[in-house]
Amino acid sequence: MSNQLIEAQRYEIYLGIKRGWSFSRISREIGVSKSTVSREVSRNKKSDGEYVWTIAQAKSDSRRHGLSGNHRKDELLWLRVDQLITEEQWSPAQISGYLRQRGVSVCKQTIYNHVHADQTGVLAQNMRHKLKYRRRQGKLRPTKATNIPNRTSIHERPKEVDGKRRGDWQMDLIMDSFGHAILTLTETATNMLMMERLRYGRRAKPVAKVVSRLLFPYRGEGVKTITTDNGSEFAAHMDITKAIGAKVYFADSYCSWQKGAIENMNKLIRQYIPKTANFNDFSNEKIMEIQKKINRRPREKLNFSTPKQEFFKFFN
């Protein structure tokens, strides 16, 4: 007997659950095994645990579309895609590249179609922009930073800093509304992320100590330059230069694109630590878990290798 359910059978399962029937009774009514009913409800129920036959049918259909060949293989593939979206929050491009390296060809648009077809909305909620896009047009304004002693402008930075050379870093802070801060650092060639909650908030001297400690093992060829904004928390940049030998360069005011790597990284972090969050609700272990998750995402710019793999190749 085939275990593939049709829409009418899913409707009978829905009615049986509403009537309070056991899975055994439902299975007898629709002519399938008890395990088939149990597996169907487990796989196709809503995020709140409710089973609705129309949503279950749509989820089943969405797993079947997009590829030719063996149906069971397709079903397992879409289960893997769903897992990478809901558990790892990978983008369709990252999933497509990852699968292609393993001999499975699925274009990113097909995965986007799969996400759009998910009527539960669970997949969309785990996408970086939740399928909502907004672009703002900023204005160029002159730099008026006067709070950074011995400040070196980004315009004096070596031309070799192009996002491809190893050892060039960008840094920033993300803040919550309670005054707590997390330091973020990224190496621009590999997108390797380092992050740590700051015990003393935005105080410049403690911030410099944390930056120096995190980057000290990679000093020299591993840390050639650091680029950041004009926040007062980076006023002790000379302490960083003294500790690790790398000069800190400051972007122009209101020109976040000049440090786009760390701006993009902060947006990835905000998937897990939203702006409305209290950082005190996140343990150091949880913050480290977020860092590890982001560092194991495959990146298109790395030919779908991961930041962790590419970063540590440099030191092997």
Question: Is residue 36 over pLDDT 80?
Answer: yes
Residue 310 CB burial class (10 angstroms; 0-12, 13-18, ≥19): buried
* pTM score of the predicted model: 0.66
* Contact by Cβ (8 Å): 248, 242: no
As a whole number of angstroms, the distance between CA 64 and CA 58 comes to 10
- The per-type count for the chain, helices as H runs and strands as E runs, is 13, 5
DSSP state of 216: G
Which tops the pLDDT comparison, 1 or 141?
Answer: 141
- CA distances 261 to 103, 193, 273, Å, are 30, 10, 18
* Contact by Cβ (8 Å): 56, 42: no
pLDDT value for 3? 57
pLDDT exceeding 70 applies to what percent of the chain?
90
Give the residue ranges of DSSP H helices in the chain.
7-18, 23-30, 34-44, 53-64, 71-88, 92-100, 108-117, 122-125, 204-215, 237-244, 260-269, 284-295, 307-313
Which tops the pLDDT comparison, 133 or 169?
Answer: 169
Average pLDDT taken over every residue of the chain: 87
Confidence of residue 69 (pLDDT cuts 50, 70, 90): very low
pLDDT value for 1? 38
As a whole number of angstroms, the distance between CA 183 and CA 204 comes to 12
pLDDT value for 57? 83
For the beta carbon of residue 44, count every other beta carbon within 10 angstroms.
21
* Contact by Cβ (8 Å): 119, 58: yes
pLDDT value for 196? 97
The per-residue pLDDT for range 144-165, each reduced to its tens digit, is 555 799 999 999 999 999 899 9
Which tops the pLDDT comparison, 71 or 244?
Answer: 244
Confidence of residue 73 (pLDDT cuts 50, 70, 90): very low
Question: Is residue 224 over pLDDT 90?
Answer: yes
pLDDT exceeding 90 applies to what percent of the chain?
54
Confidence of residue 246 (pLDDT cuts 50, 70, 90): very high
pLDDT value for 141? 54
**Mean of the pLDDT values across residues 207-214?**
97
Question: Is residue 63 over pLDDT 60?
Answer: yes
pLDDT value for 135? 52
Which tops the pLDDT comparison, 316 or 77?
Answer: 77
Question: Is residue 71 over pLDDT 80?
Answer: no
**Mean of the pLDDT values across residues 184-189?**
97
Confidence of residue 279 (pLDDT cuts 50, 70, 90): very high
List, in order, residues 6 or more apart from 118 with CB less than 8 Å away: 58, 59, 62, 124
pLDDT value for 117? 81
Worst-scoring range by mean pLDDT, 146-150, 243-247, 302-306?
146-150
* Contact by Cβ (8 Å): 300, 225: no
List, in order, residues 6 or more apart from 191 with CB less than 8 Å away: 261, 265, 299, 301, 302, 307
pLDDT value for 144? 53
**Mean of the pLDDT values across residues 263-286?**
94
Which tops the pLDDT comparison, 119 or 293?
Answer: 293
DSSP state of 101: T
Strands 225-228 and 168-175, how do they pair?
parallel
pLDDT value for 297? 94
Quickly list DSSP for 26-43: HHHHHTS-HHHHHHHHHH
